[in-house]
Structures are given as C-alpha cells and as structure tokens.
Structure 1
C-alpha cells in the first residue's frame, strides 16, 4: 500500500463518522484514533509521545510521573496533573496537539504497508477538539515536502549525523543538545527520543546544522525516494495534456508559534484544506 491508501482510508473514516482506531503498519507505522470522524490522537514508534514531551518541559520528573500513573491507574492522568500543579490545562492541550501532529509526520515520512480499522480502543492523550483527517495529512505532507526542499534534506530514520569540530558560533539550546547526543549512530528519530523533543523539530534542525557545518554525515546523503500515488488512466491523460506547473525553488517551513505553556514546537493548523489531488502534489513539493 502507498501513501494514497492512507489518505483514502483516513478520508473514509471521516466520511463515515468512524469512532475507533485506524492502525497503520509500516516503518515506523503508527495509529490514528478517531471520534465521530475527527482525529483526536495519533501515536507512532517514530515520534515521542505526549508523556516524553511533558517530561521535557521539566514541570514534572520521571518519579513524579510514575507515582501519578500508579496512583490513578490512568495512562494520561490529566486531572491529577492539574490538581497537583504539575501542568496547566492549557499546557496539556498543547502537548497533546504536538504529539498528535508529530506522530502524523512520522507516519507520512515513512513507509505505509496497510490500514486497518479497529473498534473498542481508547486513545492515549487525546485532544479535546479533533482534527479533520484532510487537514492533518495536509500539514504532515507539507512538513515532509519542506524538509525535502532544504539544501541538506534528511529523513527521521535515515541519516546518522555526528558533530564537526567545536563550533565557532553561538548555539541554541536545541543545537547544544543535538551536538551532545549526535554520535554517528543515532538518527533524527533517535535524537528526538533522547532529547524529548518532536521528531519534526529535530529533523529540521539537523538539516539546518548540516548546512551550517555543525554536523556531518559519513558519506554523501542518499537521495530522498519519492512515492507516487496511482492515478486513474483518464486523470493521467489529463495531467499529461496540461502544462506542468513550475516547482518552487523551496518549500517554506511551517512556522512555529509559542503555546500557552511556553513550548515552541507547536504548529498552527493550515487555514484551509486541499483536495486529494493537491495532497499528492504537496507530497512531492509541487504547487497547484
């Protein structure tokens, strides 16, 4: 199955008002949790979850978190976190949205093998207001296209950077963390888990650090494989007859805006959706 299969499966879930889980085996794969056709949570082995992102905020440590989970029996003890002052309600909403969007990016940036609906499951760390499947996937595809358009495109599970000589320039806290943990064996996904940051944020920063000479990779960077979605014969003939639009020189990276908690990796949702034809164009960095 290609990424078109994921798009169609999620679209069908939205159209049917599905409540349950859409499992997506693959590399890294993941799952989308829906309520009445809206995505309220997503998780993937390729992206840190809400727990890791919350612990990174340093409002609560690992021991305090374990005590809360044991005491409440909940995987995501929202009420207890707020009552004990470990996090505010706004911060928890930000963290859940970050985890949802980051997992979607990890799934789309990888390989999709299949899609399977499962009912009777409960989402982990859901958002109160769900995301439309089309808008969520549009955001994830835009991020993949933006990373591919950078001078040194990387993928979450591909390049294994290592530091260059001691940097001569001032580094940001994120750059210092990545320089401390990059060792030529860890990928962007590994470094995201290691530092407790979003995999998209880490992937973009690694690409920038390669461009700035702060990191290097052993050997040349491998080309990014492009996955084409199947098209009907009529649609393909129409595309061949129409002139190809010029590809932009680069895709603009989605802007990060601070959330109420001060966490800055949150990305605002796009203001409008796109057709699935536009979805696949975004997947390859071209514009209508």
Structure 2
C-alpha cells in the first residue's frame, strides 16, 4: 500500500495516521480537524471514530434522501419539528420513515465515504478540538487504524482499475460515439450529468451517491469508452520580456602564456539591473433521483470495487 500513499501524499497520510493513533491510545473524545483539500473532521468517542464529515463527500442526509424513504418536503418538516436539528433521528423513526438499524447503516456508509474522500485528497495539518459533537454518529465506533486501512484499500482498488481516476481530478463527458452496451442505473445517471466540468466528487453530490462508488464507476466507464476526458489545456506560451537596461559586455581576456606572469584583471562586467515586474509575478509572497426501496438503496453499492 505504500505506493498508493506515496502517490497521494505520504507525509499527509502519516500525519493523519499518527494523530488518530494517538487519539485511540489516549481514549480521546472530541474532534480531529483535518485541513487540506477537501479536508474534514474525524469525531471520536473514547478513542473510536463515531463520525467523519467532509465537504468532499455527501453526508448521511443526502444518502437517506437518495434512498427514496423520505423526500425533501418531509425532511424539512422533520427538521422544523425537531427545532432545527440537522439529523432528526428520533423523528425519522417515530414517523416510520426509517428504522434505527437502517439509520445506523446510512451513518456508517457516510462515515466510510468521508474518510475515503479525506485520505484521497491533500492533508496539510491535523488539530485536536475536544468536546465537539458530530451531526450524526454511529453508536459503536470504528477503530482509527482500521478505518484508515479500509480507506487505503479503497484507494488501491481505484488505482488498480484500467483507467484510475481521482475524486477531484478528471472531468469526464459522454463519449462522442457510445458503444452499444446495456447500461446500469448509475451509468445512465453519470452519462446524463457528466459535462466535462464536473469531477467524480461533483457527480457524487449531484446524484446523491457515495463519492467512492462514483469514482470507481467513472473509472470503469472511461475504460469502457462510455466517458472520455477532454484533452488537457495547452501550456501557456512563455513571453520573454526585453530588459530596458543596457548591458556592457566585454570579451574575456586572452589566456596567459604558459608559465608567464598573469594578466591584470579587466574591468568588471556590469550585471543588468532587474526591472520590477519583468518576471511577470506581481503578487506578494506571504509567509438529488430517488430509489424505489431500501433494497434498491443497498443494491447501489454492489457495483463498487472492493
């Protein structure tokens, strides 16, 4: 797995691994905030991860709405009844929209997907913040190292595809000539939404799917010729700016004859003065389509790589 970590930023991964390992050993309760791209937060209770949140992955609300068990209007009404709670778990169960076990599954899927998004991105720093609470959490937490190892396995699965992609890198669009193949539901959704500007992560949010599942499917569809990536932009031409100061050149003095006395040094060469702005640098350097049932919701994970 080390080659996967190296390609994604071994320093950042090791930083996160060390921070979570320390939290587990010390039975830490609170939040580990990860800055980077996309970054996010690991919420722990007594050293176990009970929730992971990231702007790079859809949360449990998006996954629940995608299941079709509840629509947007019903969700808004539950939020009002609960006094503005972002995860009205009690209301969901009381109104029969979902059972407690089903909500645990949704929270676990969101936790694993957010951890994958954080590890697959760039990690700059980690900071402990004690005493914070997540929006939604699982009742029985995951071991930090086990969770990170699962994320690395997912990265390895993506890297092993014939056309490996990153959640925030490739921006596919439908192929000019689509092969005559039978499409699955997720494939049809991605063909409808791919526009050459959206990454796999963008498509995950727009479809209400997990970012890992969408990243894997984008890679498969690129390999199958269903999607294609636009050619990368041509590099910008480099314009050489003329210097306004004259430079006085002198021919080097002839070499001294063998064993003869050295020639006196000539006049020093005048170096050109740098014109402000000549380098071109002017900035200062400073230090959601719903499924039919829960069975359909669980089936949408069956196509992902393991």
Normalising by structure 2, report the TM-score: 0.72
CA–CA separation in structure 2 for the residues paired with 1:181 and 1:134: 35
How far does residue 264 in structure 1 lie from its aligned partner after superposition? Answer: 3.6
5+ residue gaps, structure 1, are 221-258, 268-288
- Whether 2:209 is the aligned partner of 1:193: answer no
User: Hey, what does 2:43 align to over in structure 1?
Assistant: 33
Q: Deviations over 1:9-50 (max 9, x none)?
A: 000000000000000010000000000000000010100000
User: Hey, what does 1:215 align to over in structure 2?
Assistant: 227
Instruction: Determine if contact 1:28/1:106 at 8 Å carries over to the other structure.
Output: yes
Paired residue secondary structure (1:263) = helix
- Whether 2:178 is the aligned partner of 1:143: answer no
- Whether 2:298 is the aligned partner of 1:263: answer yes
Paired residue secondary structure (2:93) = helix
User: Hey, what does 2:110 align to over in structure 1?
Assistant: 99
**Alignment counterpart, residue 21 of structure 1, candidates 24, 31, 37:** 31
Paired residue secondary structure (2:155) = helix
- Whether 2:93 is the aligned partner of 1:82: answer yes
5+ residue gaps, structure 2, are 1-10, 233-293
Q: Deviations over 1:229-281 (max 9, x none)?
A: xxxxxxxxxxxxxxxxxxxxxxxxxxxxxx878424669xxxxxxxxxxxxxx
How far does residue 120 in structure 1 lie from its aligned partner after superposition? Answer: 2.1
- Whether 2:141 is the aligned partner of 1:130: answer yes
How far does residue 166 in structure 1 lie from its aligned partner after superposition? Answer: 3.9
Normalising by structure 1, report the TM-score: 0.77
- Whether 2:152 is the aligned partner of 1:117: answer no
Computed over aligned residues only, the root mean square deviation of the Cα atoms, in angstroms, reads 1.6
Instruction: Determine if contact 1:161/1:215 at 8 Å carries over to the other structure.
Output: yes
Paired residue secondary structure (2:96) = coil
CA–CA separation in structure 2 for the residues paired with 1:266 and 1:121: 31
Aligned residues, how many? Answer: 229
User: Hey, what does 2:5 align to over in structure 1?
Assistant: none
How far does residue 125 in structure 1 lie from its aligned partner after superposition? Answer: 1.1
How far does residue 66 in structure 1 lie from its aligned partner after superposition? Answer: 1.1
- Whether 2:19 is the aligned partner of 1:9: answer yes
Instruction: Determine if contact 2:34/2:126 at 8 Å carries over to the other structure.
Output: yes
How far does residue 219 in structure 1 lie from its aligned partner after superposition? Answer: 2.4
Paired residue secondary structure (1:193) = helix
Instruction: Determine if contact 1:98/1:265 at 8 Å carries over to the other structure.
Output: no
| Structure 1 stretches of 4+ moved >6 Å | none
Shift in alpha-carbon separation, 1:265–1:34, aligned structure 2, 3 A: farther
